[in-house]
Amino acid sequence: MVYRGFRLRLLFRLLLLVGMVLLLLLVLYRTDWYMTALFLFLLMLFQIYDLIHFVERTNRDLSSFLQAMRHSDFTQRFATTGVNPSYRQLYQSFNEISEAFQEVKTTQQAHYHYLQAIIEQVGIGILTFDEQGEVQLVNHVTKELLHVPHLRNVSALERLSPELVHVLYTLGHQQKQLVTLQVNNDQVILNLSSTELLSQGKQVKIVTLQNIGPEMEEQELQTWQKVIRVLTHEIMNSITPVISLTSTVADLVEQEVAKKQANGRAVDEEALEDIQAGLRTIERRASGMLHFVKNYRRLMRLPASELQPVSLRALLESVHRLLHGQQASLKVYLPESDVTILADAEQLEQVLINLIKNATEACARQDNPQVEVVAYVPEGDPEKLEISITDNGPGIPDEVLEKIFIPFYTTKKQGSGIGLSLSKQIIRQHGGTIRVRTRPGQTEFILKLKQIP
Protein backbone atom coordinates (compact mmCIF):
# COMPACT_ATOMS: atom_id res chain seq x y z
CA MET A 1 0.00 0.00 0.00
CA VAL A 2 2.87 2.34 0.85
CA TYR A 3 4.69 1.72 -2.41
CA ARG A 4 1.45 1.98 -4.44
CA GLY A 5 0.77 5.48 -3.09
CA PHE A 6 4.39 6.46 -3.74
CA ARG A 7 4.20 5.21 -7.36
CA LEU A 8 0.92 7.08 -8.04
CA ARG A 9 2.32 10.34 -6.73
CA LEU A 10 5.54 9.88 -8.66
CA LEU A 11 3.59 9.08 -11.85
CA PHE A 12 1.38 12.14 -11.31
CA ARG A 13 4.44 14.39 -11.03
CA LEU A 14 6.00 12.88 -14.16
CA LEU A 15 2.80 13.33 -16.18
CA LEU A 16 2.44 16.87 -14.92
CA LEU A 17 6.04 17.60 -15.93
CA VAL A 18 5.52 16.07 -19.39
CA GLY A 19 2.34 18.09 -19.85
CA MET A 20 4.15 21.25 -18.80
CA VAL A 21 6.93 20.57 -21.36
CA LEU A 22 4.39 19.98 -24.16
CA LEU A 23 2.48 23.13 -23.21
CA LEU A 24 5.72 25.13 -23.24
CA LEU A 25 6.62 23.83 -26.70
CA LEU A 26 3.13 24.63 -27.95
CA VAL A 27 3.34 28.19 -26.68
CA LEU A 28 6.78 28.69 -28.23
CA TYR A 29 5.89 27.37 -31.69
CA ARG A 30 2.31 28.60 -32.05
CA THR A 31 2.29 31.96 -30.28
CA ASP A 32 4.52 34.82 -29.38
CA TRP A 33 3.53 34.82 -25.71
CA TYR A 34 7.04 35.06 -24.41
CA MET A 35 6.09 36.03 -20.88
CA THR A 36 3.76 33.05 -20.70
CA ALA A 37 6.52 30.84 -22.04
CA LEU A 38 8.94 32.19 -19.40
CA PHE A 39 6.38 31.56 -16.67
CA LEU A 40 5.79 28.03 -17.93
CA PHE A 41 9.59 27.44 -18.08
CA LEU A 42 10.02 28.55 -14.49
CA LEU A 43 7.08 26.42 -13.44
CA MET A 44 8.67 23.46 -15.24
CA LEU A 45 11.96 24.02 -13.38
CA PHE A 46 10.05 24.06 -10.09
CA GLN A 47 8.35 20.77 -11.00
CA ILE A 48 11.74 19.24 -11.84
CA TYR A 49 13.10 20.41 -8.46
CA ASP A 50 9.99 19.10 -6.67
CA LEU A 51 10.34 15.72 -8.42
CA ILE A 52 14.03 15.45 -7.48
CA HIS A 53 13.29 16.47 -3.87
CA PHE A 54 10.42 13.99 -3.73
CA VAL A 55 12.64 11.10 -4.84
CA GLU A 56 15.72 12.14 -2.83
CA ARG A 57 13.71 12.61 0.37
CA THR A 58 12.58 9.03 0.15
CA ASN A 59 16.17 7.93 -0.43
CA ARG A 60 17.37 9.99 2.54
CA ASP A 61 14.70 8.55 4.79
CA LEU A 62 15.49 5.02 3.64
CA SER A 63 19.22 5.60 4.15
CA SER A 64 18.64 7.04 7.63
CA PHE A 65 16.38 4.13 8.56
CA LEU A 66 18.81 1.49 7.27
CA GLN A 67 21.76 3.15 9.06
CA ALA A 68 19.77 3.08 12.30
CA MET A 69 19.02 -0.61 11.78
CA ARG A 70 22.67 -1.31 11.00
CA HIS A 71 23.85 0.26 14.27
CA SER A 72 20.97 -1.29 16.28
CA ASP A 73 19.49 2.14 17.01
CA PHE A 74 15.83 1.24 17.32
CA THR A 75 14.90 4.42 19.15
CA GLN A 76 14.66 6.52 15.96
CA ARG A 77 11.10 7.59 15.14
CA PHE A 78 9.62 9.35 12.09
CA ALA A 79 6.86 11.96 12.55
CA THR A 80 3.59 10.92 10.93
CA THR A 81 1.60 14.07 11.58
CA GLY A 82 1.83 17.20 9.50
CA VAL A 83 3.72 15.50 6.66
CA ASN A 84 2.92 14.76 3.05
CA PRO A 85 0.48 11.86 2.78
CA SER A 86 3.00 10.23 0.46
CA TYR A 87 5.37 9.77 3.40
CA ARG A 88 2.90 9.16 6.22
CA GLN A 89 2.37 5.47 5.49
CA LEU A 90 6.09 5.00 4.79
CA TYR A 91 7.01 6.57 8.15
CA GLN A 92 4.39 4.50 9.93
CA SER A 93 5.96 1.35 8.46
CA PHE A 94 9.43 2.53 9.52
CA ASN A 95 8.18 3.11 13.07
CA GLU A 96 6.49 -0.29 13.21
CA ILE A 97 9.67 -2.02 12.04
CA SER A 98 11.74 -0.11 14.62
CA GLU A 99 9.32 -1.08 17.38
CA ALA A 100 9.47 -4.73 16.31
CA PHE A 101 13.28 -4.69 16.36
CA GLN A 102 13.22 -2.87 19.71
CA GLU A 103 11.07 -5.64 21.16
CA VAL A 104 13.49 -8.25 19.80
CA LYS A 105 16.45 -6.35 21.27
CA THR A 106 14.70 -6.00 24.63
CA THR A 107 13.94 -9.74 24.64
CA GLN A 108 17.57 -10.54 23.79
CA GLN A 109 18.82 -8.29 26.57
CA ALA A 110 16.41 -9.92 29.01
CA HIS A 111 17.68 -13.36 27.93
CA TYR A 112 21.29 -12.17 28.27
CA HIS A 113 20.71 -10.85 31.81
CA TYR A 114 18.84 -14.03 32.67
CA LEU A 115 21.75 -16.14 31.39
CA GLN A 116 24.23 -13.92 33.23
CA ALA A 117 22.25 -14.33 36.45
CA ILE A 118 22.29 -18.10 35.99
CA ILE A 119 26.03 -18.40 35.45
CA GLU A 120 26.65 -16.11 38.42
CA GLN A 121 24.97 -18.73 40.58
CA VAL A 122 27.18 -21.53 39.28
CA GLY A 123 29.88 -22.59 41.72
CA ILE A 124 32.62 -22.94 39.09
CA GLY A 125 34.24 -20.35 36.84
CA ILE A 126 32.75 -19.85 33.37
CA LEU A 127 34.46 -17.91 30.58
CA THR A 128 33.29 -17.55 26.96
CA PHE A 129 35.27 -15.79 24.23
CA ASP A 130 35.63 -15.70 20.43
CA GLU A 131 38.61 -16.43 18.18
CA GLN A 132 40.04 -12.93 18.79
CA GLY A 133 39.89 -13.50 22.56
CA GLU A 134 37.04 -11.01 23.09
CA VAL A 135 35.23 -12.05 26.26
CA GLN A 136 31.46 -12.42 25.96
CA LEU A 137 30.52 -13.88 29.32
CA VAL A 138 32.47 -14.18 32.55
CA ASN A 139 31.09 -14.89 36.03
CA HIS A 140 32.29 -13.65 39.41
CA VAL A 141 33.84 -17.04 40.30
CA THR A 142 36.28 -16.66 37.39
CA LYS A 143 37.13 -13.12 38.46
CA GLU A 144 37.77 -14.27 42.04
CA LEU A 145 39.90 -17.22 40.93
CA LEU A 146 42.07 -15.01 38.72
CA HIS A 147 41.80 -11.89 40.93
CA VAL A 148 40.73 -9.63 38.05
CA PRO A 149 37.93 -7.07 38.55
CA HIS A 150 37.20 -6.84 34.80
CA LEU A 151 38.09 -8.98 31.80
CA ARG A 152 37.41 -7.92 28.23
CA ASN A 153 40.04 -9.91 26.37
CA VAL A 154 41.77 -13.16 27.27
CA SER A 155 45.14 -11.62 26.34
CA ALA A 156 44.88 -9.40 29.43
CA LEU A 157 45.72 -12.50 31.51
CA GLU A 158 49.26 -12.57 30.08
CA ARG A 159 50.54 -10.65 33.11
CA LEU A 160 49.07 -13.33 35.38
CA SER A 161 50.16 -16.45 33.49
CA PRO A 162 51.26 -16.76 29.85
CA GLU A 163 50.74 -20.51 30.21
CA LEU A 164 47.07 -19.98 31.10
CA VAL A 165 46.50 -17.76 28.04
CA HIS A 166 48.21 -20.33 25.79
CA VAL A 167 46.05 -23.14 27.14
CA LEU A 168 42.86 -21.08 26.76
CA TYR A 169 43.60 -20.45 23.09
CA THR A 170 44.82 -23.97 22.22
CA LEU A 171 42.46 -26.11 24.28
CA GLY A 172 40.26 -28.04 21.84
CA HIS A 173 36.65 -29.17 21.91
CA GLN A 174 35.81 -31.45 24.85
CA GLN A 175 39.42 -31.29 26.10
CA LYS A 176 40.65 -30.83 29.67
CA GLN A 177 43.94 -29.65 31.12
CA LEU A 178 45.42 -28.70 34.49
CA VAL A 179 47.17 -25.35 34.90
CA THR A 180 49.06 -24.29 38.02
CA LEU A 181 49.52 -20.58 38.67
CA GLN A 182 50.44 -18.21 41.47
CA VAL A 183 47.69 -15.72 42.38
CA ASN A 184 48.57 -13.27 45.17
CA ASN A 185 51.25 -15.67 46.46
CA ASP A 186 48.70 -18.50 46.58
CA GLN A 187 49.09 -21.59 44.43
CA VAL A 188 45.96 -22.27 42.42
CA ILE A 189 45.49 -25.52 40.49
CA LEU A 190 42.89 -24.96 37.77
CA ASN A 191 41.11 -27.72 35.91
CA LEU A 192 40.14 -26.25 32.52
CA SER A 193 37.44 -27.87 30.39
CA SER A 194 36.59 -26.50 26.94
CA THR A 195 33.59 -26.67 24.59
CA GLU A 196 33.42 -25.01 21.17
CA LEU A 197 30.34 -23.99 19.21
CA LEU A 198 29.35 -21.81 16.26
CA SER A 199 27.26 -18.77 17.20
CA GLN A 200 26.08 -16.27 14.57
CA GLY A 201 28.84 -17.36 12.22
CA LYS A 202 31.57 -16.98 14.86
CA GLN A 203 33.53 -19.68 16.64
CA VAL A 204 32.90 -19.36 20.38
CA LYS A 205 34.76 -21.23 23.10
CA ILE A 206 33.21 -21.96 26.49
CA VAL A 207 35.75 -22.77 29.20
CA THR A 208 35.00 -23.82 32.76
CA LEU A 209 37.62 -23.18 35.44
CA GLN A 210 37.63 -25.10 38.70
CA ASN A 211 40.17 -24.75 41.49
CA ILE A 212 40.84 -28.36 42.47
CA GLY A 213 43.66 -27.51 44.90
CA PRO A 214 41.49 -27.84 48.05
CA GLU A 215 39.98 -31.10 46.75
CA MET A 216 43.43 -32.48 46.02
CA GLU A 217 44.65 -31.53 49.49
CA GLU A 218 41.56 -33.11 51.04
CA GLN A 219 42.07 -36.28 49.01
CA GLU A 220 45.73 -36.34 49.98
CA LEU A 221 44.82 -35.97 53.66
CA GLN A 222 42.23 -38.75 53.44
CA THR A 223 44.78 -41.00 51.74
CA TRP A 224 47.32 -40.42 54.50
CA GLN A 225 44.68 -41.08 57.12
CA LYS A 226 43.82 -44.40 55.48
CA VAL A 227 47.49 -45.34 55.35
CA ILE A 228 47.96 -44.38 58.99
CA ARG A 229 44.87 -46.31 59.99
CA VAL A 230 46.14 -49.47 58.31
CA LEU A 231 49.70 -49.06 59.60
CA THR A 232 48.72 -48.36 63.19
CA HIS A 233 46.29 -51.25 63.21
CA GLU A 234 48.82 -53.74 61.88
CA ILE A 235 51.75 -52.45 63.93
CA MET A 236 49.80 -52.34 67.19
CA ASN A 237 48.43 -55.83 66.58
CA SER A 238 51.98 -57.05 66.05
CA ILE A 239 53.76 -55.08 68.77
CA THR A 240 51.31 -55.69 71.63
CA PRO A 241 51.83 -59.49 71.67
CA VAL A 242 55.61 -58.97 71.43
CA ILE A 243 55.57 -56.78 74.54
CA SER A 244 53.39 -59.24 76.39
CA LEU A 245 55.49 -62.21 75.30
CA THR A 246 58.73 -60.45 76.25
CA SER A 247 57.40 -59.73 79.72
CA THR A 248 56.26 -63.35 80.08
CA VAL A 249 59.63 -64.74 78.95
CA ALA A 250 61.42 -62.45 81.40
CA ASP A 251 59.23 -63.78 84.23
CA LEU A 252 59.87 -67.38 83.14
CA VAL A 253 63.62 -66.76 83.09
CA GLU A 254 63.50 -65.35 86.61
CA GLN A 255 61.42 -68.30 87.80
CA GLU A 256 63.82 -70.79 86.18
CA VAL A 257 66.79 -69.07 87.78
CA ALA A 258 65.07 -69.17 91.14
CA LYS A 259 64.42 -72.94 90.77
CA LYS A 260 68.04 -73.68 89.88
CA GLN A 261 69.28 -71.67 92.79
CA ALA A 262 66.86 -73.49 95.09
CA ASN A 263 68.15 -76.85 93.88
CA GLY A 264 71.72 -75.77 94.40
CA ARG A 265 72.61 -75.75 90.73
CA ALA A 266 74.91 -73.11 89.30
CA VAL A 267 73.62 -70.34 87.08
CA ASP A 268 75.68 -68.68 84.39
CA GLU A 269 75.40 -65.11 85.60
CA GLU A 270 76.85 -63.61 82.42
CA ALA A 271 74.42 -65.45 80.14
CA LEU A 272 71.57 -64.57 82.44
CA GLU A 273 72.42 -60.90 82.32
CA ASP A 274 72.65 -61.02 78.52
CA ILE A 275 69.23 -62.66 78.28
CA GLN A 276 67.64 -60.18 80.66
CA ALA A 277 69.30 -57.22 78.93
CA GLY A 278 68.08 -58.47 75.54
CA LEU A 279 64.55 -58.94 76.84
CA ARG A 280 64.53 -55.49 78.41
CA THR A 281 65.78 -54.00 75.13
CA ILE A 282 63.06 -55.76 73.17
CA GLU A 283 60.40 -54.59 75.61
CA ARG A 284 61.70 -51.02 75.67
CA ARG A 285 61.92 -50.72 71.88
CA ALA A 286 58.52 -52.34 71.40
CA SER A 287 56.98 -49.97 73.97
CA GLY A 288 58.66 -47.03 72.23
CA MET A 289 57.27 -48.12 68.88
CA LEU A 290 53.81 -48.50 70.41
CA HIS A 291 54.04 -44.97 71.80
CA PHE A 292 55.29 -43.80 68.41
CA VAL A 293 52.26 -45.28 66.66
CA LYS A 294 49.83 -43.84 69.22
CA ASN A 295 51.14 -40.38 68.42
CA TYR A 296 50.33 -40.82 64.73
CA ARG A 297 46.82 -41.90 65.55
CA ARG A 298 46.20 -38.30 66.57
CA LEU A 299 46.05 -37.41 62.88
CA MET A 300 42.90 -39.52 62.57
CA ARG A 301 41.35 -38.47 65.85
CA LEU A 302 41.61 -34.71 65.56
CA PRO A 303 38.35 -33.37 67.02
CA ALA A 304 36.18 -31.10 64.88
CA SER A 305 36.90 -27.41 65.33
CA GLU A 306 34.31 -25.58 67.43
CA LEU A 307 34.31 -22.23 65.66
CA GLN A 308 33.39 -19.22 67.79
CA PRO A 309 34.17 -15.48 67.65
CA VAL A 310 37.72 -15.00 68.95
CA SER A 311 39.59 -11.77 69.58
CA LEU A 312 42.81 -11.83 67.58
CA ARG A 313 44.54 -9.48 69.99
CA ALA A 314 43.72 -11.66 73.02
CA LEU A 315 44.79 -14.81 71.18
CA LEU A 316 48.18 -13.47 70.09
CA GLU A 317 48.85 -11.86 73.46
CA SER A 318 48.24 -15.24 75.11
CA VAL A 319 50.65 -16.94 72.71
CA HIS A 320 53.24 -14.21 73.28
CA ARG A 321 53.04 -14.68 77.06
CA LEU A 322 53.50 -18.43 76.72
CA LEU A 323 56.50 -18.23 74.40
CA HIS A 324 58.17 -15.05 75.64
CA GLY A 325 61.73 -15.67 76.73
CA GLN A 326 62.56 -18.33 74.15
CA GLN A 327 66.02 -18.58 72.59
CA ALA A 328 65.00 -16.21 69.77
CA SER A 329 63.67 -12.67 70.06
CA LEU A 330 59.89 -12.85 69.57
CA LYS A 331 58.00 -9.80 68.31
CA VAL A 332 54.26 -9.67 67.69
CA TYR A 333 52.63 -6.97 65.54
CA LEU A 334 48.86 -6.50 65.56
CA PRO A 335 46.47 -4.42 63.42
CA GLU A 336 45.62 -0.98 64.79
CA SER A 337 42.07 -2.07 65.57
CA ASP A 338 41.17 -5.41 67.08
CA VAL A 339 39.92 -8.06 64.66
CA THR A 340 37.45 -10.82 65.48
CA ILE A 341 37.88 -14.14 63.73
CA LEU A 342 35.79 -17.30 63.65
CA ALA A 343 38.02 -19.96 65.19
CA ASP A 344 38.56 -22.67 67.77
CA ALA A 345 40.79 -20.74 70.18
CA GLU A 346 42.55 -23.79 71.65
CA GLN A 347 43.31 -25.40 68.30
CA LEU A 348 44.45 -22.17 66.63
CA GLU A 349 46.62 -21.34 69.65
CA GLN A 350 48.26 -24.77 69.33
CA VAL A 351 48.97 -24.13 65.64
CA LEU A 352 50.60 -20.77 66.41
CA ILE A 353 52.67 -22.27 69.23
CA ASN A 354 53.85 -25.07 66.95
CA LEU A 355 54.83 -22.70 64.12
CA ILE A 356 56.58 -20.24 66.45
CA LYS A 357 58.53 -23.04 68.14
CA ASN A 358 59.58 -24.36 64.73
CA ALA A 359 60.68 -20.87 63.74
CA THR A 360 62.62 -20.46 66.98
CA GLU A 361 64.44 -23.75 66.44
CA ALA A 362 65.14 -22.88 62.79
CA CYS A 363 67.00 -19.65 63.64
CA ALA A 364 68.54 -20.79 66.92
CA ARG A 365 72.05 -20.95 65.46
CA GLN A 366 71.93 -17.46 63.97
CA ASP A 367 73.93 -14.65 65.61
CA ASN A 368 70.77 -12.64 66.24
CA PRO A 369 67.83 -15.09 66.10
CA GLN A 370 64.54 -13.30 65.50
CA VAL A 371 60.95 -14.44 65.05
CA GLU A 372 58.22 -12.00 64.01
CA VAL A 373 54.48 -12.58 64.10
CA VAL A 374 52.51 -10.09 62.01
CA ALA A 375 48.71 -10.06 61.73
CA TYR A 376 47.13 -7.94 58.99
CA VAL A 377 44.14 -7.66 56.67
CA PRO A 378 45.31 -8.30 53.09
CA GLU A 379 44.76 -5.49 50.61
CA GLY A 380 41.73 -6.03 48.40
CA ASP A 381 40.31 -8.81 50.58
CA PRO A 382 38.77 -7.22 53.72
CA GLU A 383 36.94 -10.41 54.71
CA LYS A 384 40.20 -12.30 55.25
CA LEU A 385 42.96 -12.12 57.86
CA GLU A 386 46.55 -13.21 57.45
CA ILE A 387 48.99 -14.14 60.21
CA SER A 388 52.62 -14.30 59.18
CA ILE A 389 55.30 -16.13 61.24
CA THR A 390 58.77 -15.20 59.97
CA ASP A 391 62.22 -16.28 61.15
CA ASN A 392 65.71 -15.30 60.00
CA GLY A 393 66.98 -18.87 59.81
CA PRO A 394 68.86 -20.41 56.88
CA GLY A 395 65.69 -21.19 54.94
CA ILE A 396 64.23 -24.48 53.79
CA PRO A 397 65.92 -26.40 50.94
CA ASP A 398 63.74 -27.04 47.87
CA GLU A 399 63.91 -30.82 48.29
CA VAL A 400 62.58 -30.45 51.85
CA LEU A 401 60.02 -27.72 51.14
CA GLU A 402 57.72 -29.95 49.10
CA LYS A 403 57.63 -32.58 51.88
CA ILE A 404 57.16 -30.56 55.06
CA PHE A 405 53.38 -31.12 55.26
CA ILE A 406 53.65 -34.88 54.65
CA PRO A 407 52.83 -36.92 57.79
CA PHE A 408 55.83 -38.65 59.41
CA TYR A 409 58.34 -36.51 57.50
CA THR A 410 60.78 -34.61 59.71
CA THR A 411 64.36 -33.35 59.61
CA LYS A 412 64.63 -33.22 63.40
CA LYS A 413 66.27 -36.04 65.32
CA GLN A 414 63.58 -35.97 68.01
CA GLY A 415 60.71 -34.84 65.76
CA SER A 416 57.56 -36.87 65.19
CA GLY A 417 56.72 -35.40 61.79
CA ILE A 418 53.07 -34.69 62.60
CA GLY A 419 53.20 -31.08 63.84
CA LEU A 420 52.84 -29.36 60.47
CA SER A 421 50.41 -32.02 59.22
CA LEU A 422 48.18 -31.41 62.25
CA SER A 423 48.49 -27.65 61.81
CA LYS A 424 47.43 -27.87 58.17
CA GLN A 425 44.49 -30.09 59.06
CA ILE A 426 43.35 -27.67 61.78
CA ILE A 427 43.59 -24.66 59.47
CA ARG A 428 41.59 -26.52 56.82
CA GLN A 429 38.87 -27.21 59.42
CA HIS A 430 38.80 -23.45 59.98
CA GLY A 431 38.15 -22.90 56.27
CA GLY A 432 41.59 -21.31 55.83
CA THR A 433 44.90 -22.08 54.18
CA ILE A 434 48.53 -22.34 55.24
CA ARG A 435 51.42 -21.71 52.90
CA VAL A 436 55.16 -21.22 53.19
CA ARG A 437 57.65 -18.96 51.44
CA THR A 438 61.36 -19.34 51.93
CA ARG A 439 64.70 -18.05 50.74
CA PRO A 440 68.19 -18.03 52.23
CA GLY A 441 68.01 -16.07 55.48
CA GLN A 442 64.21 -16.09 55.83
CA THR A 443 61.28 -18.47 56.13
CA GLU A 444 57.68 -17.32 56.37
CA PHE A 445 54.57 -19.34 57.21
CA ILE A 446 51.31 -17.54 56.35
CA LEU A 447 47.91 -18.46 57.77
CA LYS A 448 44.85 -17.13 55.96
CA LEU A 449 41.62 -17.12 58.00
CA LYS A 450 38.16 -15.63 57.81
CA GLN A 451 37.33 -12.61 59.95
CA ILE A 452 33.97 -11.46 61.23
CA PRO A 453 33.00 -8.01 59.87
Domain borders along the chain are 2-106, 123-211, 216-299, 308-452
pLDDT in tens, 402-433: 778 776 667 766 665 667 877 888 888 888 88
| Averaged pLDDT, 113-139 | 82
CATH no., domain 123-211:
3.30.450.20
Q: What pLDDT is recorded for position 391?
A: 93
Q: Cα(169)–Cα(127) distance, rounded to whole angstroms?
A: 12
Helices (H), 263-303: 269-296
Q: Is the predicted pLDDT of residue 265 greater than 70, yes or no? A: no
Q: What angle do CA 24, 26, 32 make, to 5 degrees?
A: 90
Q: What pLDDT is recorded for position 414?
A: 61
Share of the chain above pLDDT 90, in %: 6
Out of 163-167, 201-205, 386-390, 438-442, which region has the weakest mean confidence (pLDDT)?
Answer: 201-205
Q: Is the predicted pLDDT of residue 25 greater than 70, yes or no? A: yes
Q: Is the predicted pLDDT of residue 437 greater than 70, yes or no? A: yes
Interstrand relation of 329-333 and 370-376 (parallel, antiparallel or unpaired)? parallel
Q: What pLDDT is recorded for position 226?
A: 63
Out of 43-52, 83-92, 137-146, 435-444, which region has the weakest mean confidence (pLDDT)?
Answer: 83-92
Q: Is the predicted pLDDT of residue 445 greater than 90, yes or no? A: yes
More confident residue, 59 or 308: 308
Q: Is the predicted pLDDT of residue 382 greater than 80, yes or no? A: no
| Averaged pLDDT, 232-254 | 64
Q: Is the predicted pLDDT of residue 145 greater than 60, yes or no? A: yes
- Dihedral pair phi/psi, residue 301, rounded to 5°: -110, 20
Q: What pLDDT is recorded for position 422?
A: 79
Report which of 86, 100, 97, 99 is spatially closest to residue 1, judged by C-alpha positions.
86
pLDDT in tens, 337-351: 888 888 888 889 888
Out of 25-29, 37-41, 284-288, which region has the weakest mean confidence (pLDDT)?
Answer: 284-288
Is the CB of residue 75 less than 8 Å from the CB of residue 102?
Answer: yes
Is the CB of residue 195 less than 8 Å from the CB of residue 174?
Answer: yes
How would you class 333 by CB atoms within 10 Å of its CB: exposed for 0-12, middle for 13-18, buried for 19 or more?
A: exposed
More confident residue, 239 or 322: 322
Q: Cα(407)–Cα(293) distance, rounded to whole angstroms?
A: 12
Out of 62-71, 157-166, 257-266, 331-340, which region has the weakest mean confidence (pLDDT)?
Answer: 257-266
DSSP 8-class letter at 160: T
Is the CB of residue 183 less than 8 Å from the CB of residue 211?
Answer: no
How many Cβ atoms sit within 10 Å of the Cβ of residue 453? 5
More confident residue, 442 or 12: 442
pTM value surpassing 0.85: no
Q: Is the predicted pLDDT of residue 253 greater than 80, yes or no? A: no
Q: Is the predicted pLDDT of residue 68 greater than 80, yes or no? A: no
How would you class 246 by CB atoms within 10 Å of its CB: exposed for 0-12, middle for 13-18, buried for 19 or more?
A: buried
Q: Is the predicted pLDDT of residue 370 greater than 80, yes or no? A: yes
Task: Give the chain's radius of gyration (CA, Å).
Answer: 44
Q: What pLDDT is recorded for position 373?
A: 92
pLDDT in tens, 89-104: 667 777 777 788 778 7
Q: What pLDDT is recorded for position 121?
A: 75
More confident residue, 39 or 81: 39
Out of 37-46, 209-218, 427-436, which region has the weakest mean confidence (pLDDT)?
Answer: 209-218
CATH architecture of 308-452: 2-Layer Sandwich (3.30)
Out of 16-30, 156-170, 219-233, 320-334, which region has the weakest mean confidence (pLDDT)?
Answer: 219-233
Q: What pLDDT is recorded for position 283?
A: 67
Q: Is the predicted pLDDT of residue 34 greater than 80, yes or no? A: no
Q: Is the predicted pLDDT of residue 3 greater than 60, yes or no? A: no
Is the CB of residue 330 less than 8 Å from the CB of residue 373?
Answer: yes
Q: What pLDDT is recorded for position 238?
A: 57
Q: Cα(370)–Cα(386) distance, rounded to whole angstroms?
A: 20
Q: What pLDDT is recorded for position 119?
A: 72
Q: What pLDDT is recorded for position 442?
A: 92
Is the CB of residue 446 less than 8 Å from the CB of residue 388?
Answer: yes
Q: Cα(48)–Cα(54) distance, rounded to whole angstroms?
A: 10
| Averaged pLDDT, 298-313 | 76
User: CB under 8 Å to 335, separation ≥6 — which residues?
Assistant: 312, 375, 376, 377
Q: What pLDDT is recorded for position 219?
A: 61
Q: What is the mean pLDDT of the chain?
A: 77
Is the CB of residue 407 less than 8 Å from the CB of residue 300?
Answer: no
Q: What angle do CA 82, 83, 85 make, to 5 degrees?
A: 120
- Split at pLDDT 50, 70, 90, the class of 371 is very high
- Dihedral pair phi/psi, residue 123, rounded to 5°: -80, 0
User: CB under 8 Å to 93, separation ≥6 — which residues?
Assistant: 2
Secondary structure tally for the chain: helices H, strands E: 11, 12
Rounded to whole angstroms, what are the CA distances from 418 to 137, 387, 410, 411? Answer: 45, 21, 8, 12
Share of the chain above pLDDT 70, in %: 70
